[in-house]
């Protein structure tokens, strides 16, 4: 308390001057319309700039929450796509006059599971993407992984809460794909040279293809839903050893900056695998 009185006694003149200054300015702005308008304009501009800076800071710290919300919403929309469902052929089947609505759910073919990308590599011959979602959250080996922009790769290893994805930028990666315009399908591979540039091989020369054409996943893939963008044609070359084209594609997914992904679960894969085992057993 003694220090407070010493401070006041030392700066009494300055404090009294500031007090009178505040009173004078208050009277000036309160009883003079011109000065009041000028003061309000300056005050609004300053407060607006302060609020803008504050909102920018607040928005930055809320990005994580916003991204989670968007990923959840995108997952919900992806799971409503018509291509996620597969309808059995009932032409030769005897059915009741009414069908229970809930029974339709058993024919779902693809289920999308949102995941956060926690690391990725692009500079080696065999590149991987790591996701923060594992077996405890429904992820299994050999499941497809897509991103907001297009195809990412295939799950090759899973732990309780993490999973490793063999991306398209991997020498052993092979993805069945086709030209979006509906003709010609082949395999997407990577030659290990340039990141974000992959090759679509085995495209017949009878197919008309040009730079800028889109390449998407094929309905013949057992992992990927049809129609997901793989990349865009950058260059068309002849394969001298065969009567096919080799198409260089720029990947739809930017592996340098990918942050979000969706693991795609084929709900009918077990049934398909069982049929394939039966075929192999019969051929032995």
173 CB-near residues (< 8 Å, 6+ apart): 153, 154, 166, 167, 188, 189, 190
pLDDT above 80 for 94: no
Quick one: CA torsion of 265, 271, 273, 274, rounded to 10 degrees?
Answer: 160
| Length of the chain measured in residues | 284
**Burial level of 47, CB count in 10 A (0-12/13-18/19+)?**
exposed
**Is there a contact between 127 and 255 (Cβ–Cβ < 8 Å)?**
yes
Centre a 10 Å sphere on the Cβ of residue 68 and count the other Cβ atoms it contains.
13
Among 259, 262, 265, 279, smallest CA distance to 114 is for: 262
Residue 170, strand partner residues? 126
Fold of 68-84+103-268: Thrombin, subunit H (2.40.10)
Structure-token pair, residue 186 = 């082949």
d(CA 202, CA 189): 11
Higher pLDDT pick, 103 / 57: 57
What pLDDT is stored for residue 199 in this prediction? 96
Higher pLDDT pick, 68 / 216: 216
Q: b/e for 106-116, b at 16 or more Cβ within 10 A?
A: eeebbbbbbbe
pLDDT digits (tens, 9 = 90+) for 157-177: 999 999 999 999 999 999 999
pLDDT digits (tens, 9 = 90+) for 34-82: 555 555 555 545 555 655 565 565 555 556 666 666 767 677 677 766 5
- Strand, helix or coil at 139? coil
What's the mean per-residue pLDDT of the chain? 79
What pLDDT is stored for residue 243 in this prediction? 84
- Cite the residue boundaries of each domain of the chain with CATH code 2.40.10.340: 68-84+103-268
Instruction: Average the pLDDT over 107-115 and give the result.
Output: 85
pLDDT above 90 for 200: yes
Phi first, then psi, for residue 134 (nearest 5°) are -135, -155
- Strand, helix or coil at 153? strand
pLDDT above 60 for 93: no
């Amino acid at each position: 308390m003694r220090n407070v009185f010493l401070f006041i006694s030392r700066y009494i003149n300055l404090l009294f001057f500031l007090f009178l200054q505040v009173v004078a300015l208050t009277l000036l702005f309160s009883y003079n319309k011109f000065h009041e308008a000028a003061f309000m304009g300056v005050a609004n501009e300053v407060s607006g700039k302060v609020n803008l800076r504050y909102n920018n800071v607040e928005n930055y710290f809320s990005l994580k929450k916003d991204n989670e919300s968007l990923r959840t919403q995108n997952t919900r929309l992806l799971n409503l796509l018509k291509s996620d469902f597969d309808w059995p052929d009932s032409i030769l089947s005897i059915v009741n006059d009414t069908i229970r609505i809930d029974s339709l759910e058993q024919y779902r073919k693809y289920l999308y599971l949102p995941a956060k990308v926690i690391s990725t590599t692009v500079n080696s011959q065999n590149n991987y993407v790591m996701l923060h979602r594992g077996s405890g959250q429904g992820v299994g080996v050999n499941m497809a992984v897509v991103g907001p922009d297009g195809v990412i790769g295939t799950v090759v290893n899973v732990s309780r809460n993490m999973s490793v994805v063999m991306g398209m930028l991997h020498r052993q990666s092979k993805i069945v794909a086709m030209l979006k315009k509906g003709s010609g399908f082949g395999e997407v591979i990577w030659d290990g040279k340039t990141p974000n540039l992959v090759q679509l091989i085995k495209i017949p020369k009878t197919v008309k293809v040009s730079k800028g054409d889109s390449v998407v996943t094929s309905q013949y893939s057992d992992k990927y839903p049809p129609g997901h963008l793989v990349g865009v044609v950058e260059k068309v070359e002849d394969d001298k050893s065969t009567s096919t084209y080799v198409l260089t594609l720029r990947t739809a997914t930017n592996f340098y900056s990918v942050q979000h992904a969706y693991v795609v679960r084929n709900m009918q894969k077990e049934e398909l695998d069982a049929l394939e085992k039966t075929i192999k057993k019969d051929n032995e």
